[in-house]
């Protein structure tokens, strides 16, 4: 790699031309990725890509006048001091926050490059062009804000916010809720059956731990293998599987942990069981609230389905364990 100070003016121009071409393609890729989900924001990035192409043409015109048509094969990656970028643009269905953070980094790097290049240039015309481009990159954020105001009116913003909420629900809330429901409800029967069969807190905790982890692994793999997300827009299958498996385990452990109450305490079993019962109560109501909040389920209907179902499973476990 070459240090920036060792670059000739020809190489500086070649790097700038390569960088502008790459940035325009990145903006165009962002626009393509956002077209279906956020068409108004996609128009913003299409405009940015066009502006970067304009920068490239100005740089290329000056290069051809001074050095001819042949560009040396040098890019930003070949120069010391440039930050390495994560190729996030290769990932589909990126969130707007990730894309906007990447754009901020791109603009900052371009601005700093042109400032340093202008300071190093000896040719007056080149220095003027590089300084002008530095100013334009500095104003790029204001440009984005201006076209955001023009394109993203209140109606468009509201539509994009609704889309982003739906994606959040599909990718995180839905698998997490499925896991929490399974972990909180399905582990009730084996846990309380073991509790009332043994009246031993430690043995009950081990049953709950095994049931929670086993259910988490099973639910995680089932979610990950059920849908690759390419058609449904539900995102990475392994991320959904991790969220689902984690919430399944958490849901089961919630009412298992109280059985860590030492068996040598007076009335240890009943203390642990009472705490576990309170935890179950709050778990079921929390699930009902999440269903009502994110899944458009009427709250009373969610309460009836979840609380009643959980109470039945709990009663079954106690009856089996006490038999």
Q: What is the pLDDT of residues 142-172, one digit of tens each?
A: 655 555 555 556 666 666 666 667 777 778 8
DSSP designation for 73: S
Give the up-direction half-sphere exposure of residue 294: CA atoms within 13 A in the CB hemisphere.
Answer: 21
Which one-letter DSSP state was computed for residue 137? H
Q: Which residues contact 111 (CB under 8 A, 6 or more apart)?
A: 134, 137, 138, 140
This model's pTM is above 0.75: no
pLDDT digits 0-9 by tens, 28-54: 988 888 888 778 788 888 988 998 999
R_g of the chain computed on alpha carbons: 29
pLDDT at 60 over 70: yes
- Alpha-carbon distance of 62 to 57, in angstroms, equals 9
When comparing pLDDT for 301 and 278, which is higher? 278
Q: Which ranges constitute the DSSP H helices of the chain?
A: 9-34, 39-67, 96-120, 124-138, 140-151, 154-168, 174-181, 188-198, 201-226, 237-254, 268-294, 299-322
- Residue 242 near residue 100, CB atoms below 8 Å: no
pLDDT exceeds cutoff 50 at 18: yes
- Report how far residue 109's alpha carbon sits from residue 55's, in angstroms, rounded to the nearest whole number: 15
CA–CA dist 32, 48 (Å, integer): 13
pLDDT of amino acid 81: 62
What token pair was written down for 61?
Answer: 């015109």
A 10 A CB-CB count for 87 gives: 9
277 with 292: CB under 8 angstroms? no
* Under 8 Å between Cβ of 93 and 30: no
Q: Of 23-32, 133-142, 200-209, 212-221, which range is least confident?
A: 133-142
Query: Does the pLDDT value for residue 94 go beyond 80?
Result: no
Integer Cα distance of 320 and 190 in angstroms = 9
Of 273, 274, 299, 278, residue with least CA distance to 287: 299
Pair 190, 317: CB distance under 8 Å:
yes
Q: Cα separation of 189 and 283, whole Å? A: 15
| Mean pLDDT of the residues in the chain | 84
Tokens of 154: 């209140």
- The owner of tokens 């059920």 is 226
């Amino acid at each position: 790699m070459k240090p920036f100070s060792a670059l000739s003016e020809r190489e500086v121009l070649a790097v700038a031309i390569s960088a502008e071409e790459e940035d325009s393609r990145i903006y165009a890729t962002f626009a393509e990725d956002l077209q279906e989900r956020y068409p108004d924001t996609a128009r913003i990035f299409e405009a940015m890509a066009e502006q970067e192409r304009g920068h490239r043409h100005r740089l290329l015109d000056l290069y051809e006048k001074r050095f001819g048509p042949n560009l040396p094969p040098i890019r930003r990656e070949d120069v010391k001091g440039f930050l390495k970028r994560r190729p996030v643009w290769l990932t589909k269905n990126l969130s707007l926050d990730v894309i906007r953070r990447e754009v901020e980094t791109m603009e900052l790097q371009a601005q700093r490059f042109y400032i340093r290049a202008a300071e190093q240039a000896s040719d007056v015309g080149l220095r003027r062009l590089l300084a002008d481009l530095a100013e334009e990159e500095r104003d790029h954020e204001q440009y984005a804000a201006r076209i955001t105001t023009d394109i993203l009116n209140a109606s468009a913003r509201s539509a994009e916010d609704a889309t982003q909420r739906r994606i959040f629900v599909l990718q995180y809330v839905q698998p997490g809720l499925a896991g929490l429901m399974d972990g909180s409800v399905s582990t009730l029967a084996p846990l309380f059956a073991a509790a009332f069969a043994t009246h031993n807190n430690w043995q009950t905790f081990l049953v709950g731990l095994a049931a929670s982890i086993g259910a988490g692994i099973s639910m995680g793999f089932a979610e990950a293998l059920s849908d690759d997300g390419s058609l449904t827009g539900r995102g990475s299958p392994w991320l959904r599987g991790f969220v689902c498996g984690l919430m399944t385990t958490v849901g089961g452990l919630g009412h298992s942990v109280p059985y860590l109450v030492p068996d040598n305490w007076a009335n240890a079993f009943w203390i642990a069981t009472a705490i576990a019962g309170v935890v179950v109560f709050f778990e079921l109501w929390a699930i009902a609230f999440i269903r009502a909040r994110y899944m458009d389920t009427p709250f009373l209907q969610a309460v009836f389905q979840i609380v009643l179902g959980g109470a039945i499973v709990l009663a079954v476990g106690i009856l089996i364990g006490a038999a």
